[in-house]
C-alpha cells in the first residue's frame, strides 16, 4: 500500500513522518502538522466549490476546519498510478466529541453558532447567483411514506416488518401531514431569502423567482394564477413590492424576506441564511489538543447554502437522543446557541416542526422500498421497533419544548 501511495505522497510539499489508517482514509503526521488523505468522494467541481467555501471561512477567521490542500502543481486532487483521485485535507489531533459529556455538548453548539456567523458572512460577501437548498420537502416525503403503504397493502403474504409498518402507518403519516401544514403556514422555508425566491427544491437569488413549476425572470412572477409585474410578486393574498416577494407568512421589503417578521427584525432581516455544514453532529467534531482551536470541524461533504437552523436541529436531535431524550440537554443547546446567534420564535417553530416530523419512519420506508423484498434485513424491523418505543419520549420532549418556546 505504501508503494502504491508513494506517488500521491510525493505530490505534496510535506515531509511525512508517519502514516496511520482511520475511517477509510490515511492520517499523515508531517513536518507541517496532521493531514488526512482520502479518496475523492464526489465530482471535481464539487471539490472546487468546497475549496472556495472553506477558503472564504478561513479569510473571515473561522480557521479550525479541514481545509483542502493543493498539490505542488496547484491541483486539488492527485491520482495514484491506477488513476484513483485523492484529496489532502488538514486534520486534527484529538478525540471525537462525546455527546454524553456536558462540556463537549456546549463546546459543540458554540462552535456551530460561530460557524454559522462565518457562513452567513461568507455568503453575503460572495457570489449571489447560487442555489439555495430547501430541506423541508415534507409533501414529497409524505408521498413516499404513502406509496410504501399502498405497495405493502397489495402484497398477499406480509413479513413482520410489513405488518408493523401497516399498523403504525396512520399514526406517522398523519404526523407527517400535520408537519407539512405547519411548515407551509410558517412560510415555505421558515427563514430568509435574498432578493428573490424559489419555492421548490432550490431557491435562487438575483431578482427572479421560481415557484413550483412556474419560472419568472426580470422581477416578474406568476404564481398559481396570480400575475405580477414591475418587480413585485403576489402569492396567495399577500403582496410584496420593491423587487421582493412574499410567500406564505413572509413579509418582505427592500429585497429581503424573513418568515413571520418584518424586514429589519433580527439581524438586518437576514438572520439565518448562510452556508450550512450539512451533517453537523458529534461525529464531525474533534476536541483537539491544539491551543486556540479547541474544536476542529470536519466532514463538510454535504455543505450547502440554506437555512442554518437545519444544522442546529440535526445537532440537537442527535445529541438529545444520545441522552435519552433529555429536555435539559435540548434546552442547554438552544440557550447556548441563542447567546451567540439570537433565535426568533419562528426559528424555534422551525426546529420544533423539523423534530416532530417522523424522519426515521420515512427513512425506513425508503430503505424498504429500495432494498430486496424477498429478504428483509432484520435491522429494518429492529430500527422500526426502537423508533416506536422511543416515540413517547420524543413527544414528551417536544411537548415541553412547545410549552417553553412556543
Residue 197 in this model has a pLDDT that exceeds 50: no
Task: State mean pLDDT over 63-84.
Answer: 96
The residues, ordered by sequence, that sit 6+ positions from 53 with a Cβ below 8 Å of its Cβ are 122, 275, 300, 303
Which pLDDT belongs to residue 129?
A: 60
Domain boundaries, the chain: 1-91, 204-266
The residues, ordered by sequence, that sit 6+ positions from 280 with a Cβ below 8 Å of its Cβ are 112, 115, 297, 311, 314, 315
> pLDDT over 70 for what percent of the chain?
77
Of 193, 235, 230, nearest in space to 212 by CA: 235
Model confidence band, residue 4 (pLDDT cutoffs 50, 70, 90): confident
Residue 32, H or E segment: none
SS3 state of residue 371 = coil
Lookup result for grid cell 425508503: 366
End-to-end CA distance of the chain: 56
Which pLDDT belongs to residue 239?
A: 33
Task: State mean pLDDT over 139-143.
Answer: 96
Query: Mean pLDDT for the chain?
Result: 82
Q: Per residue, what are the HEC states of 196-224?
A: CCEECCEECCCCCCEECCEECCCCCCEEC
Q: What gap in Å lies between CA 314 and CA 172, rounded to an integer?
A: 20
Which pLDDT belongs to residue 135?
A: 73
Which pLDDT belongs to residue 208?
A: 39
Which pLDDT belongs to residue 290?
A: 75
Q: What gap in Å lies between CA 244 and CA 253, rounded to an integer?
A: 6
Task: State mean pLDDT over 99-119.
Answer: 97
Q: What gap in Å lies between CA 267 and CA 63, rounded to an integer?
A: 24
Q: What gap in Å lies between CA 269 and CA 256, rounded to an integer?
A: 7
- Read off the pLDDT of residues 8-31 as tens digits, 9 standing for 90 and up: 999 999 999 999 987 789 999 999
Which pLDDT belongs to residue 128?
A: 60
Domain spanning 1-91, CATH class = alpha beta
Residue 158 in this model has a pLDDT that exceeds 90: yes
Global pTM value: 0.80
Task: State mean pLDDT over 181-194.
Answer: 65
Amino acid at each position: 500500500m505504501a508503494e502504491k501511495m508513494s506517488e500521491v505522497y510525493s505530490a505534496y510539499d510535506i515531509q511525512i513522518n508517519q502514516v496511520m489508517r482511520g475511517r477509510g482514509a490515511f492520517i499523515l503526521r508531517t513536518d507541517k502538522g496532521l493531514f488526512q488523505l482520502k479518496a475523492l468522494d464526489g465530482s471535481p467541481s464539487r471539490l472546487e466549490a468546497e475549496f472556495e467555501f472553506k477558503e472564504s471561512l478561513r479569510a473571515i477567521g473561522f480557521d479550525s476546519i479541514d481545509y483542502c490542500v493543493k498539490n505542488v502543481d496547484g491541483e486539488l486532487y492527485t491520482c495514484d498510478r491506477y488513476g484513483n483521485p485523492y484529496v489532502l485535507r488538514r486534520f486534527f489531533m484529538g478525540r471525537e466529541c462525546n455527546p454524553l459529556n456536558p462540556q463537549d455538548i456546549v463546546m459543540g453548539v458554540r462552535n456551530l453558532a460561530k460557524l454559522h456567523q462565518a457562513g452567513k458572512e461568507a455568503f453575503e460577501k460572495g457570489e449571489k447567483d447560487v442555489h439555495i437548498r430547501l430541506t423541508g420537502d415534507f409533501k414529497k416525503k409524505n408521498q413516499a411514506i404513502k406509496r410504501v403503504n399502498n405497495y405493502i397493502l397489495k402484497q398477499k403474504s406480509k413479513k413482520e416488518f410489513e405488518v408493523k409498518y401497516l399498523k403504525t402507518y396512520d399514526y406517522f403519516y398523519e404526523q407527517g401531514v400535520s408537519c407539512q401544514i405547519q411548515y407551509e403556514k410558517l412560510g415555505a422555508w421558515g427563514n430568509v431569502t435574498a432578493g428573490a425566491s424559489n419555492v421548490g427544491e432550490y431557491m435562487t437569488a438575483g431578482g427572479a423567482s421560481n415557484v413550483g413549476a412556474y419560472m419568472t425572470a426580470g422581477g416578474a412572477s406568476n404564481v398559481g394564477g396570480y400575475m405580477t409585474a414591475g418587480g413585485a410578486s403576489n402569492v396567495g393574498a399577500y403582496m410584496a413590492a420593491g423587487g421582493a416577494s412574499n410567500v406564505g407568512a413572509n413579509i418582505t421589503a427592500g429585497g429581503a424576506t424573513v418568515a413571520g417578521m418584518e424586514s429589519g427584525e433580527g439581524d438586518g432581516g437576514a438572520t439565518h441564511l448562510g452556508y450550512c455544514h450539512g451533517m453537523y453532529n458529534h461525529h464531525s467534531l474533534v476536541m483537539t489538543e491544539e491551543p486556540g482551536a479547541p474544536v476542529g470541524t470536519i466532514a463538510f461533504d454535504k455543505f450547502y447554502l440554506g437555512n442554518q437552523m437545519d444544522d442546529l436541529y440535526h445537532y440537537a436531535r442527535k445529541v438529545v437522543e444520545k441522552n435519552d431524550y433529555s429536555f435539559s440537554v435540548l434546552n442547554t443547546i438552544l440557550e447556548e446557541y441563542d447567546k451567540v446567534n439570537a433565535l426568533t420564535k419562528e426559528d424555534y417553530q422551525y426546529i420544533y416542526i423539523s423534530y416532530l416530523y417522523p424522519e426515521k419512519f420515512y427513512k425506513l420506508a425508503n430503505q424498504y422500498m429500495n432494498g430486496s423484498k424477498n429478504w428483509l434485513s432484520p435491522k429494518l424491523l429492529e430500527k422500526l421497533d426502537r423508533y416506536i418505543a422511543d416515540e413517547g419520549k420524543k413527544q414528551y420532549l417536544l411537548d415541553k419544548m412547545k410549552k417553553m418556546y412556543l
